[in-house]
Structure 1
Amino acid sequence: MITNDKPITHFIKQSAISLVNRIRNHRYSANQLIVITSLYVAFVCNFPFLTRAITAITQTSDYSFLFLLSVPTLLVSLIIMINGTIGVGKLLKPLLILTILLSTVLLYATASYGVVFDYTMIQNGAETDSAEAFSYLNAHDIVFVILVGGIPALGIFFAKVKTQSWSRGLKARSALVASHTILVVLIASVFYANYAAVGRNNRELLAYITPYKFVDATVKYTKRHYFTTELPFKTLDSNPLLEIEDDKARVTVLVVGETARAQNFSLNGYSHNTNQYTEDSGIVSFTKVSSCGTATAVSLPCMFSRLDRQTYDNRTANAQQNLLDIAKAAGTDVLWIDNNNGSCKGVCARVNSIDIDTGIANPLCDGEYCFDEALLLPLQNKLDNLSAKNTLIVLHMIGSHGPTYYKRYPQDKAVFLPDCQRSDIQHCSEQEIVNTYDNTIAYTDFVLNKIIARLEKLESDSAVQTAMLYISDHGESLGEKGVYLHGLPYAFAPQEQTHVPMLFWQNKSLAHQDNDCIKSVSSEVISHDNLFDIVLGITSVSSTQYIEGRDVLSKCRASDGLLAAATEPNTKILL
């Protein structure tokens, strides 16, 4: 932690003055500025890419040193081609300065947290609110950007560029771009097979090229979300039915966790007792559940969509009925209560919803975030005012969202110490990070137990059948192999980001739900693709979109005759 910023400030000031004075005494050609900047971007800002590329190449048994040498050469040439083509006239300095500053910010995120800026990460960032965005900002970020990006950008700003006639400048620029184009073609022709082999086995490498992968992903996101016509809304099932054969009302609480990974749940065998509150409640943990994505922007709408992970497309999903729409159409009273920045990513667009007010008037809130206990009051209000025979309440948690894990639980609920009381978690010890994250899981467990207690009381007071299903949207990396947080492309995301917890609890009156049977299927391999059918089954909603084979709980209801077996997928099921 920085305890005295005066030496750093003085160093930055003296470095800047020295650089400016040196630059002012020299005149550079436009091509020289392009080459110098391109070399800096290639070898400094693309250091994560180069190290990964070199590692991938040297791990092969028959790699060529010339091929290894060609990688940075190719990278520099490509950057020169881009800067040389776009940076004409008065655009030159702004382009180079922007490239340096943007590349530096991306370098910090990649080097510190292992973040890769592909399409999914751009989407996740675009849908992040200001409070969450600023949680990543700290003194180390600022100092790093100033030293690595600000000073070189300042040098470019003050650099004196030699004046040339239009024809002479065009000739020099054309020669620069043409020579490096030839070099790129030459490298590609000589080492094509090598690049193809390394690329085929290490597809993630391209995602580390800074800043061009970021620019490419941003352009695609902008084009798709702001310049593409919306699809007409599609009704998947116009007549879903509610099939409850007894007179008892039913309440199902679906708790959507945030950034919780399965391996840190003691219900799954983890050494830290993170489930001390629910371990004796009769809750069942499903141990082999995978997520649809590695970030909320993808996973949340995907898990409520009829589309599966392989076919999921955000544009298509938003233009058709989701799980909540079908439950509502069947006569279920659906309510979404959100404590995650008030964003359901479009999932709750057509059902009743409540956003938790983060104002400091609430003792559970700090003006930006609220502890998940804040969900309990609106939940209780709803339970006290049930108006339908079948009710589905979705609670969207802030859960274990990082990097400010320490803000996700009250200090009196800090079970594991010492914890990490800062956002730049890479500067905490491994044990401090794990302790802090485990505290968030333990606090989630505390809240889940409170929910169960309310459902049990509802049963005893009103004879209402109740059930709770908890599932997280994605997992989290805590520094394993130098990777932090989440959001890596799914193709090479570590298990920590895709293996998620799922917990199921039911009250005693749900006799048709055989708890021993549920325990027997809890080790089956399932994913977010199963959630649609599991929830339809729990809530007794009959729909043409229900697929019995994906409802892992279906066999545990069949013995009571409340679930008619399906002979064909996507046929009407009577629950």
Structure 2
Amino acid sequence: MQLKRSVNLTPSSAQFIVLTSVLITVIFNYPFISAAYESVSPLTFWDWIFLLTVPLLLTLINIIFLSLFGALLFPRLTVAITFLVSSPLLYASLVYGVVFDSSMIQNVMETNSGEAFSYLNLSFLLFLLLLGLVPVFAILNQDIQNCFTSHLAKMLFVNLLALLGLTVIGVLFYKDYASVGRNNKALVKQIIPYAFYDAGYKYLRNIYFNPPLPYRILDQKPYLIESSQSSFKTVVMVVGETARADKFGVNGYIRNTTPQITEKGAISFANVTSCGTATAVSVPCMFSRLGREQYESRVAESQDNVLDIINRAGTKVTWIDNNSSCKGACNRIETIEFDPGRDPTLCDGDFCYDEILVNLLRLSLSKPPNLNQLIVLHMIGSHGPTYYRRYPKKFARFTPDCQRSDIQNCKEEELINTYDNTIAYTDYVLGNIIEALKTVPNSSMLYLSDHGESLGEKGLYLHGFPYNLAPKEQTHIPMIYWDSTFTDRAYKSCIDQLAHNSFSHDNLYDTLIGLTNVSSVTYQPTMDMFKLCKR
């Protein structure tokens, strides 16, 4: 007599959820588990047991989360969505070292199409295909036993076991989890996909669900201080993008990436830090009265910034953009918005080289001013990951460069060469701005980058890391100052001495007030970087 053995490959909903919960832990949360291991650095037997509970804890949380958010009725759809969301998050975490917080969500939401498409490359598409689309296809075609009564009973049983497991782990290892969490606050922001969901919720809450604040005018009647100069004052404020102070030759970098800054007699301030690590935070923060410690985007948007004060005082303020936007900083002043089709010789339909700002500046300066003016130029600068698109081919001084967006696959030398080319091109643009201002009496230029950039140091790329955890490469920024009155040796010597001091974006508000000769109740003289040198 021959017995036939049949193998049932159709799982129940409970078995399906348990299996996919394990996969979400093992595959998508490998960076989190690895970071937890590095944080604990196990030495004792108890340390190892504690570490073993980490993936178990995460699996139990997955089971409960998936059950609560649809797996009781639609297990395949719930898991498929989770895989689709988790695969690009894992790519961002592995490749760029991204940590998911509300500011990162803000960066994503405020990115324009040109920036967004610059992140698309073969590596990302293959990653999304293998860990996102293929598993989702398999999940949606998976047969699942569908007796509702049995399905419900098994799902409830599995969730009760998960709750029991969480309780046991909590009782035995609460002190260990509390200690590791307290000393490594960025860890929870690496849990995929929950850190993303949490950050998304906070972003939506802050932007759409909190009631708008009433607008606050910080100074009703700022005014211009009479100057001994017979000509009107012209100040050009250049907002840099993703530039690192340590890559400027004038700051001691081994390569002479900044010959124009030196030749034109501009002064570099080598010890300056940013307000944030991403444009969406840094740009509005640097013009705000709040300062980094007190900065909240919701508050900043509902009150005057320094551009509003200067404009109200009677100075003509104009913002000229070659980036995605001013992030709200120019909402109430004259703005020339970014146009990727403005000049076919300098634009490719997605981006424009920063030389276009020089052309627009010269156009503005060609009209004799009948009042003081502040012109803000917002550069595309060194924005990644497509660094090679930030400079014309003739400016590729350092070769071979990295002609691709998946920069993690470039050789270190190629990546550094490409980034250094962007800095050298920025130097060229700043040199042209200074040259244009030399024909304008009583003029000055202040260049200040919004934040820095990681180029593979500590396994991190790009920017946007939480500020308190960010490496110095993302917060140490260049600042360059040139003034037509540098012909006064005493004044230039005084500025030279100040250049060794430590400053930050917090100083910009008062420094611009001082440069534009504005009197305002919001002005704090001790925060004005150049106050000590004023005649």
Report the counterpart of residue 469 of structure 1 in structure 2: 446
Distance 2:399 2:250 in 1: 21
Could you say what secondary structure the match of 1:469 adopts?
A: strand
Q: For 1:137-162, what per-residue CA distance to the aligned partner results, in whole angstroms no more than 9, with x for missing partners?
A: 01111111111222221111010010
State how far apart, in whole Å, the 2-side matches of 1:453 and 1:147 are: 53
Pick from 34, 38, 53: which aligns with 1:51?
A: 34
Task: Please give the alpha-carbon distance, in whole angstroms, between the structure 1 residues aligned to 2:490 and 2:45.
Answer: 59
Q: CA deviation at 1:515?
A: 1.0
In the other structure, the counterpart of 1:141 is 124
Please list every run of 5 or more consecutive structure 2 residues that lacks an aligned counterpart in the other structure. 1-6
- 1:191-231 superposed Cα distances (whole Å, 9 cap, x missing partner): 11111111111111011000111011111211221223211
SS in 1 for 2:186: helix
Equivalent position of 2:166 in the other structure: 184
Of the three residues 517, 523, 526, the one matched with 1:546 is 523
Pairwise CA distance, 1:362: 2.3
1:483 match: 460
How many residue pairs get aligned? The number is 528
**Distance in 1 separating the partners of 2:533 and 2:447:** 18
Q: Does 1:518 align with 2:501?
A: no
**Partner residue of 1:39 out of 22, 33, 37:** 22
1:99-498 matched pairs, under 5 angstroms: 99-166=82-149, 168-246=150-228, 247-341=230-324, 343-359=325-341, 361-458=343-440, 464-498=441-475
1:272, CA displacement in angstroms?
Answer: 1.2
Give the conservation status (yes or no) of the 8 Å contact 1:266–1:273: yes
**Contact 2:145–2:151, Cα closer than 8 Å, also in 1:** no
The alpha carbon displacement at 1:26 in A equals 2.4
Query: Which letter does structure 2 place at the counterpart of 1:395?
Result: L
Q: Distance in 2 between matches of 1:125 and 1:400?
A: 18
Q: CA deviation at 1:288?
A: 1.0
After superposition, the C-alpha distances for 1:115-139 in whole angstroms (9 at most, x for unaligned) are: 1121100001000011110100011
Distance (whole Å) between structure 1 residues aligned to residue 115 and residue 217 of structure 2: 34
What is the DSSP-based 3-state SS (H/G/I as helix, E as strand, rest coil) of the residue aligned with 2:351?
Answer: coil
User: Per the alignment, do residues 25 and 275 of structure 1 end up closer, same or farther by CA in structure 2, a change over 3 Å counting?
Assistant: farther
Q: Residue 3 of structure 1 corresponds to which residue in structure 2?
A: none
Distance 1:447 1:433, change over 3 A: same
Pair 1:530-2:507 in alignment: yes
- Tell me if structure 1 keeps the 8 A contact 2:17–2:71: no
Deviations, residues 369-404 of structure 1 (Å, cap 9, x unaligned)? 000001112111111114333110000000000000
Give the structure-2-normalised TM-score.
0.96
User: Residue 4 of structure 2 corresponds to which residue in structure 1?
Assistant: none
Q: After the TM superposition, which of the residue ranges 232-241 and 242-251 deviates more from structure 2? A: 242-251
1:564 counterpart residue number: none
Matched residue, 1:571: none
The whole-number CA distance in structure 2 between the counterparts of 1:513 and 1:119 is 47
Deviation at 1:91? 2.8
Q: Quick one: percent identity of the two aligned structures?
A: 47
Q: Give 1:491 shift.
A: 1.3
Q: Deviations over 1:386-427 (max 9, x none)?
A: 433311000000000000000000010111111000000000
Matched residue SS, 2:74: helix
Partner of 1:19: none
| Two-structure CA RMSD over aligned residues (Å) | 1.6
The aligned residue for residue 64 of structure 1 is 47
The TM-score, its normalising length taken from structure 1, stands at 0.89
Residue 84 of structure 1 and its aligned partner are, at CA, apart by: 1.9
Alpha-carbon distance in structure 1 between the residues aligned to 2:453 and 2:99: 14
Letter in 2 for 1:426: Q
- CA change 1:518–1:359 in 2 (3 A) is same
Q: CA deviation at 1:33?
A: 1.3
